[in-house]
Structure 1
């Protein structure tokens, strides 16, 4: 048994809805790609995982559907509105590139216009796009979320609804920190590379270790800093960090020269240990550190295995299903 057993989803896919349909399929819904091309390349096999394809008329598919993910990345679909309006209980999620605007979009233009490229990369280099098709994925996640919220509302009211969202807004949500910073300080974010700037100082985010890299930042979290320093002391590597009263200072207000000196001590400590050791310590003691895994390691990572995200061949598999002998 899965979370969405018995629900039927129809997807009009054009990049913005694809992964959202796959998410609903992995949650147990029956998901149909309406008139989509056969699944051939790696992208289609991953993004359309769990879905089936049908050439049946859309009106026929919608007659038994609970959800319609209506992808309008390339422009309007006026004929679809008329068909969907006939289904009183249908949750109709309309996904456009821009709010109330039929203008086409691409992953690249969404990355640029959302501001994500403006803050990604190093200050002395051009803007960078995130790998893959992250704008499409971010939008599809919002589409699946909107569909689930629509289902909950239908359970309470007995009626479906038409829900609209834009890819630009969905992508901009991933850049929320810059928007919040601008609202509170009037400062426009820029590319900082391997640095998180808070207050008058900046701290590193990515660190080399014995077998790769980890991500961690020295932030104003006294409990986290004390936990890290305790282990460093046990390893004989804490140096002057052991003398700091973390409750009495603000890292964000500390001079950059001092921050760099402290970080050099942490850097030497991280360099002595591998990702697994540091990751295990982080989980045990609450450091907020995460190992950065290589792409080839993703299917075998403990987190992915515990959630049964991948099939045996490494292809994305069903989420939240009942695994034999394990329960939900």
Structure 2
């Protein structure tokens, strides 16, 4: 049995709730698309809306027996008729997704959300213009929060016996993905900037993406003594640790070490990583707790045995974008 068997979800989609609806469908809910906003790219619609049933009933009838309403208000701040229908079903979990605070006239697009959230401010290199993450990530980040809100609403309904209205802000959803900059400003008053391949936490910056023998991995030299000792032990096996062997990682702060020293240490790590494959480095990381992740290519994502085993991919594309309800056969 799926986690959401028997849960009925009605969706008024206009980009902000699309991925959230797909996530609930993947969890086993019956998801009905009652409205689909225009302009979503075909590829994104295939990824976010494929398999969602299209409504064959009027909205009042759908909401009367729904458990969840995902109400996308990217371009409409007020929907009194929808609010009235939702209020008539006291057990309904009504998730309203807005762009900016309700009533704000600014256009709600992936670009404006990325810029306003600060994500573009910290993405890319200092000498280059701000960069937007690929794939309409602001919409995707909002969809994740929409699905989370719906699940929390269901959990609350089990405890208190009634539904509720939950508002999700797309701007806040994107800003949450930029949490480190907000926390840094709150604690230090510093405003972050684009650092490229550096992770800056104190007075120095450490590298994040590293070339290896057959591609790239992501790892950073941070203030985690156990992790650092594990990496150095493996380097010592091959005689590649150098001065890293003599460091008491418990008694120093990497974030407050001089940049020249950090660069010297990282040169040793870079040589070690370059001599090994992603599989070797990733295996050691899992076994020994390095905190390292391998970076895969797009063809490798498609051919991933792990993702195939989880049923992530679907055969038969291209095909109908939306599935319709089967005819009701009288019993």
Q: Report the alpha carbon displacement of residue 201 of structure 1 after superposing the two structures with TM.
A: 0.7
What SS does the aligned partner of 1:118 have? Answer: helix
Moved more, 265-274 or 297-306: 297-306
- Normalising by structure 2, we get a TM-score of 0.91
What SS does the aligned partner of 1:165 have? Answer: strand
Query: Which residue pairs with 2:85 in the alignment?
Result: 83
Structure 2 contact 11–35 (Cα < 8 Å) conserved: no
RMSD over equivalenced CA pairs, Å: 1.8
1:2 aligns to 2:2 (yes or no): yes
Moved more, 86-95 or 35-44: 35-44
Query: Which residue pairs with 1:321 in the alignment?
Result: none
- Please list, as runs of the form range in 1=range in 2, the aligned pairs for 1:249-268 lying within 5 A after superposition: 249-268=252-271
Query: Which residue pairs with 1:151 in the alignment?
Result: 154
Query: Which residue pairs with 1:73 in the alignment?
Result: 74
What SS does the aligned partner of 2:36 have? Answer: coil
Query: Which residue pairs with 1:218 in the alignment?
Result: 221
Rounded to whole Å, the distance in 1 between the matches of 2:238 and 2:316 is 40
Quick one: which of 209, 214, 233 aligns to 2:212?
209
Query: Which residue pairs with 2:57 in the alignment?
Result: 56
Query: Which residue pairs with 2:329 in the alignment?
Result: none
Query: Which residue pairs with 2:322 in the alignment?
Result: none
Query: Which residue pairs with 1:199 in the alignment?
Result: 202
Change (3 A) 1:140 1:40: closer
Change (3 A) 1:40 1:114: closer
Structure 2 contact 14–37 (Cα < 8 Å) conserved: no
Query: Which residue pairs with 1:323 in the alignment?
Result: none
Change (3 A) 1:15 1:40: closer
Rounded to whole Å, the distance in 2 between the matches of 1:94 and 1:100 is 11
Query: Which residue pairs with 2:46 in the alignment?
Result: 45
1:135 aligns to 2:138 (yes or no): yes
Structure 1 contact 195–202 (Cα < 8 Å) conserved: yes
Q: Report the alpha carbon displacement of residue 233 of structure 1 after superposing the two structures with TM.
A: 1.0
Q: Report the alpha carbon displacement of residue 60 of structure 1 after superposing the two structures with TM.
A: 1.4
Quick one: which of 235, 244, 252 aligns to 1:232?
235
Q: Report the alpha carbon displacement of residue 64 of structure 1 after superposing the two structures with TM.
A: 1.5
Query: Which residue pairs with 2:190 in the alignment?
Result: 187
What SS does the aligned partner of 1:117 have? Answer: helix
Query: Which residue pairs with 2:282 in the alignment?
Result: 279
Change (3 A) 1:42 1:201: same
Q: Report the alpha carbon displacement of residue 246 of structure 1 after superposing the two structures with TM.
A: 1.2
Structure 2 contact 91–161 (Cα < 8 Å) conserved: yes
Unaligned runs of at least 5 residues, structure 2: 319-331
1:288 aligns to 2:291 (yes or no): yes
Q: Report the alpha carbon displacement of residue 55 of structure 1 after superposing the two structures with TM.
A: 4.5
What SS does the aligned partner of 1:70 have? Answer: strand
Query: Which residue pairs with 1:325 in the alignment?
Result: none
Query: Which residue pairs with 1:160 in the alignment?
Result: 163
Structure 2 contact 146–168 (Cα < 8 Å) conserved: yes
Rounded to whole Å, the distance in 1 between the matches of 2:73 and 2:172 is 15
